[in-house]
């Protein structure tokens, strides 16, 4: 036989169902089925909502079953999480251990990637950094290192994306701004490069590389502005007005710049700078046997000094800068 508590519950359920049939909560074609269910519940638990005695004994008015259930749900949502069970406690150390293993694996992969960068095997370094990220995607250094490898490979757009991700993960990571600046610089986006370098310098005010990189980018930006505003040559041919070479054209020629970088790395450019006679002879050969203005320029001490300063800014043997500002930074 049902207890009074159960009868009170069934009474409230029957009231709820009757109200739902009347207020439209139940579809019209389902009302008849609900009414049959109400009758069955009443007969099964010996409950009659029309009985005045039962109304006094079982009714919860003015509260309704819906009100009571709403209070329960709110109370449940405000409860603090229960203490972990024994089974949960046993599995927690295992999960924690797994996270530690992933981080250690990621760190080992990063170290291997750094070795490949030192060996100039950039595709393999990128693969190793990517694998490290798959084990620990929340480490900004992994993205910063991969950005440097991408730039070394000439993929500056991807380097910028990795630098952005590194900054999102760690806004205080100054090297990420340096890597982004180098990538923008290499793409000829000098304003963007300066902005990135300056943000990095705000985080690391004593960073000499960032300071020299800002100066190099500003120099490039100023040179570009001068070149755009300069009037076209009035005499001469092939970019050599008045017998003087078109230096801007030479310095923007990828083949010439590649040759200059190779000479810088081998030390040949430094030897050449110290031998004006040799440079004059080269000028004469370059001009087809008559050095003309180029030969005279190479014998001009002021022009030679400017040439050395330019090569120093490009990272030559006489200076400490570099074109992109961060190629000399080692990965962490």
Q: Please answer whether residues 178 and 144 qualify as being in contact, where contact means their C-beta atoms are separated by less than 8 angstroms.
A: no
Mean pLDDT of 68-78: 71
CA distance 10 to 42: 8
The pair of three-digit structure tokens given for residue 222, joined into one six-digit string: 């100023």
Taking only the tens place, the pLDDT of each residue in 7-63 is: 888 888 988 888 888 877 878 888 788 888 888 888 888 888 888 888 888 888 777
* Residue that has been written with the tokens 């990095």 in this structure: 200
In the chain, what are the domains?
4-70 (1.20.5.420), 100-226 (1.25.40.10), 250-332 (no CATH)
Q: Please answer whether residues 324 and 185 qualify as being in contact, where contact means their C-beta atoms are separated by less than 8 angstroms.
A: yes
pLDDT higher than threshold 50 for residue 287: no
The pair of three-digit structure tokens given for residue 53, joined into one six-digit string: 């005695």
Mean pLDDT of 131-159: 95
The pair of three-digit structure tokens given for residue 208, joined into one six-digit string: 């000499």
The pair of three-digit structure tokens given for residue 214, joined into one six-digit string: 């800002």
Written in H, E and C, the secondary structure of the chain is CCCHHHHHHHHHHHHHHHHHHHHCCCCHHHHHHHHHHHHHHHHHHCCCCCCHHHHHHHCCCCCCHHHHHHHHHHHHHHCCCCCCCHHHHHHHHHHHHHHHHHHHHHHHHHHHHHHHHHCCCHHHHHHHHHHHHHHCCCCHHHHHHHHHHHHHCCCHHHHHHHHHHHHHHCCCCHHHHHHHHHHHHHCCCHHHHHHHHHHHHHHCCCCHHHHHHHHHHHHHHHHHHHHHHCCCCCCCCCCCHHHCCCHHHHHCCHHHHHHHHHHHHHCHHHHHHCCHHHHHHHHHHHCCCCCHHHHHHHCCHHHHHHHHHHHHHCCCCCCCCCCCCCCCCCCC
CA distance 190 to 218: 7
Q: Please answer whether residues 287 and 295 qualify as being in contact, where contact means their C-beta atoms are separated by less than 8 angstroms.
A: yes
Residues 6+ apart with CB under 8 A from 301: none
Mean pLDDT of 297-316: 52
- Cα–Cα nearest to 122, from 151, 142, 144, 143: 151
The confidence score (pLDDT) of residue 102 equals 85
The confidence score (pLDDT) of residue 299 equals 52
Taking only the tens place, the pLDDT of each residue in 196-255 is: 999 999 999 999 999 999 999 999 988 877 777 665 554 444 444 444 455 555 555 565
Burial 190-213 (b: 16+ CB within 10 A, else e): bebbbbbbebbbebbeebebbebb
Lowest mean pLDDT among 1-5, 41-45, 90-94, 318-322: 318-322
Q: Which residue has the higher pLDDT, 304 or 220?
A: 220
Q: Which residue has the higher pLDDT, 148 or 280?
A: 148
Computed over every residue of the chain, the mean pLDDT equals 76
The confidence score (pLDDT) of residue 56 equals 82
Mean pLDDT of 251-266: 61
The confidence score (pLDDT) of residue 58 equals 80
Taking only the tens place, the pLDDT of each residue in 84-137 is: 555 555 555 665 667 778 889 999 999 999 999 999 999 999 999 999 999 999
What's the number of CA atoms in the CB half-sphere (13 Å) around residue 208? 5
Taking only the tens place, the pLDDT of each residue in 178-194 is: 999 999 999 999 999 99
């Amino acid at each position: 036989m049902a207890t009074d508590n159960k009868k009170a519950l069934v009474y409230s359920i029957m009231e709820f169902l009757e109200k739902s049939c009347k207020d439209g909560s139940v579809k019209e074609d389902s009302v008849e089925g609900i009414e049959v269910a109400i009758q069955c519940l009443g007969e099964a638990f010996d409950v009659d909502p029309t009985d005045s005695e039962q109304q006094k004994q079982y009714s919860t008015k003015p509260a309704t079953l819906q009100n009571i259930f709403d209070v329960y749900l709110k109370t449940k949502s405000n409860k603090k999480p229960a203490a972990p069970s024994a089974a949960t406690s046993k599995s927690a150390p295992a999960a924690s251990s797994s996270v530690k293993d992933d981080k250690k694996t990621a760190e080992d992969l990063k170290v291997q990637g750094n070795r490949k960068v030192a060996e100039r095997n950039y595709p393999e370094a990128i693969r190793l950094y990517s694998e490290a990220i798959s084990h620990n995607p929340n480490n900004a250094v992994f993205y910063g290192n991969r950005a440097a490898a991408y730039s070394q490979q000439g993929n500056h757009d991807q380097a910028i994306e990795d630098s952005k991700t590194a900054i999102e993960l760690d806004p205080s990571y100054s090297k990420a701004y340096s890597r982004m600046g180098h990538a923008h610089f290499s793409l000829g986006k000098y304003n963007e490069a300066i902005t990135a370098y300056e943000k990095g310098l705000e985080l690391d005010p004593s960073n000499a590389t960032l300071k020299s990189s800002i100066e190099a980018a500003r120099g490039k930006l100023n040179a570009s502005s001068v070149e755009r505003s300069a009037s076209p040559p009035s005499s001469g041919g092939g970019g050599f007005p008045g017998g003087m070479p078109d230096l801007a054209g030479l310095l923007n020629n990828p083949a010439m710049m590649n040759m200059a970088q190779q000479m810088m790395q081998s030390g040949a450019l430094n030897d050449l700078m110290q031998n004006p006679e040799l440079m004059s002879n080269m000028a004469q050969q370059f001009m087809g046997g008559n050095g003309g203005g180029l030969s005279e320029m190479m014998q001009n001490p002021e022009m030679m000094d400017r040439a050395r300063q330019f090569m120093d800014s490009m990272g030559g043997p006489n200076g400490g800068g570099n074109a992109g500002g961060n190629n000399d930074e080692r990965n962490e």
